Amino acid sequence: MSNVNSYIGVDLHKKTCFITVMNQAGRIKKQTEISTDTDKVAKFFAKHTDASVAVESTMNWIPFYENLESLGCSVVLSNPLQTKAIAAARIKNDKVDSKILADLLRTNLLPTAYLSACLAQADIQPREIRDLKELVRQRVNYVEIRTRIKNKIHSVLFKNNLKHDFTCLYGQAGMIWLKELKLRDIYRQEMDRYLTTLDLLDKQIAEMSDQIMATAKTDYDCKLLMTIPGVSYFTALVVKSEIGDINRFASAGKLCAYAGLIPSTYASAEKIRHGRISKRGSKWLRKALIDSVTSGSKHPSRLGFFYRQLKKNKGTGKAKVATARKLATIIFAMLTDKQPFREFAPVKQR
């Protein structure tokens, strides 16, 4: 930051943002509130392209960042949880928050939400990684919406005291049965709307799945990840999009911590107590790893064997978490060395 003349902290909200501009000595040069409209933000920051800007990771940080990126500004994304822990204040308002962000950035104490170790500096995820995240998370959201619609269909059947013997109600035969059911007009109309919505969701999810599959098949890291038993093209792309550049993690332990799979620790004096997993970091990565353990649990691999043995002694939940942590360690080695998954010793079957 040798060429930086000032430091700017931005407390970002939906419609407005409060800005503090601070010089290298820590003296406040300006504090103001502006609209988050693209042109208003561009007008203000066009005068501060030589500044380093810190903004908290909020719901609307992406359009704000991309606007500043187009102006050539240097922007870092603050980790809200760690920032609050470092800079707890009795008085909390937009003016104080933006000042704290600027001051932490100036003193190089700002905890960032994305660290690029290969660049040895704080950085925001590259656009291609952000786009991958958006794609896979969009599919997850659509699947959740589809599940709610299916539950509504079951609710209509329940209200009419109707039961079925289909293994899959939403297979070809089940769908024909649902469309031909004799129901009161109000329920028939309700059912038809749900079925129409379900059909549209199925088509949209299929389109996104095709796009995800095509992307995963052409990405080298995803092709490596898909050699792991239980890892599908979708899971591979989730892992890829959440990890980004593996070089930003100094060790496998750091990757496990990012996935929230390490035990929480409470230490006081000479007493140290470990609790449940921290669940801090990427919930998407954690879920993808645990889902992979479930999918590959019956596979005759070392991971599957490890999970089954641990399940007998510790139960399903602890076995899944422990195996997911081991899987994260394996993924770290694979992506670091650019090597596919392979067994290093024969697995004894029981």
Cα separations (Å) of 75 from 12, 156, 183, 330, 350?
Answer: 13, 51, 59, 33, 55
pTM, 2 dp: 0.73
Q: Is residue 53 part of a domain?
A: yes
Q: What is the model's pLDDT at position 81?
A: 63
Question: Among 158, 186, 218, where does a domain finish?
Answer: 218
CB-based burial label for 194 (10 Å; 0-12, 13-18, 19+): buried
Residues 197 and 259 occupy one common structural domain: no
At residue 122, the pLDDT reads: 39
3-state DSSP assignment of residue 32:
strand
In a domain, 165, yes or no: yes
Range of the domain at 283: 222-337
**How many domains is the chain built from?**
3
Q: Which of 67, 98, 124 is the last residue of a domain?
A: 124
- Judged by phi (left if over 0) then psi (alpha if -120 to 50, else beta), residue 183 lies in beta
Residue at 345 is within a domain: no
Q: What is the domain-level CATH number for residue 100?
A: 3.30.420.140
Q: Report the DSSP beta bridge partners of residue 9.
A: 20, 54
- In the chain the beta strands, taken as DSSP E runs, fall at 6-12, 16-23, 28-35, 52-56, 74-78, 115-116, 121-122, 263-268, 271-277
Residue 83's pLDDT is 66
Residues 155 and 188 in one domain: yes
In eight-state DSSP terms, residue 203 is H
Residue 106 lies in a domain: yes
**22 and 58 within one domain:** yes
**pLDDT attached to residue 274:** 54
Q: Do both 12 and 111 map to the same domain? A: yes
Out of 95, 124, 153, a domain closes at 124
Q: Which of 347, 238, 224 is nearest to 289 (CA)?
A: 238
Query: In the 8-state DSSP scheme, what is residue 124?
Result: P
Q: CA-to-CA distance for 199 and 100, rounded, in angstroms?
A: 50
Q: Is 112 found in the same domain as 42?
A: yes
pLDDT at residue 233, rounded to an integer: 94
**Confidence (pLDDT) at 70:** 86
Residue 350 placed within a domain: no
Asked if residue 118 and residue 10 are part of one domain, the reply reads: yes
Task: Report the SS3 class of residue 288.
Answer: helix
Q: Sign of the C-alpha dihedral, residues 106, 107, 112, 115?
A: positive
Q: Would you give per-residue pLDDT tens digits along the chain (350 residues)? A: 456 789 999 999 989 999 999 999 999 999 999 999 999 999 999 988 888 999 987 778 888 988 898 888 888 888 776 666 555 655 567 788 899 899 999 988 887 765 433 333 334 678 888 899 999 999 999 999 999 999 999 999 999 999 999 999 999 999 999 999 999 999 999 999 999 999 999 999 999 999 999 999 999 999 999 999 999 999 999 999 999 999 989 999 999 989 988 876 555 555 555 556 767 778 899 999 999 999 988 888 888 889 999 999 889 999 999 999 999 999 999 999 999 998 754 445 44
Residue 295 in tokens? 């999918």
pLDDT at 117: 34
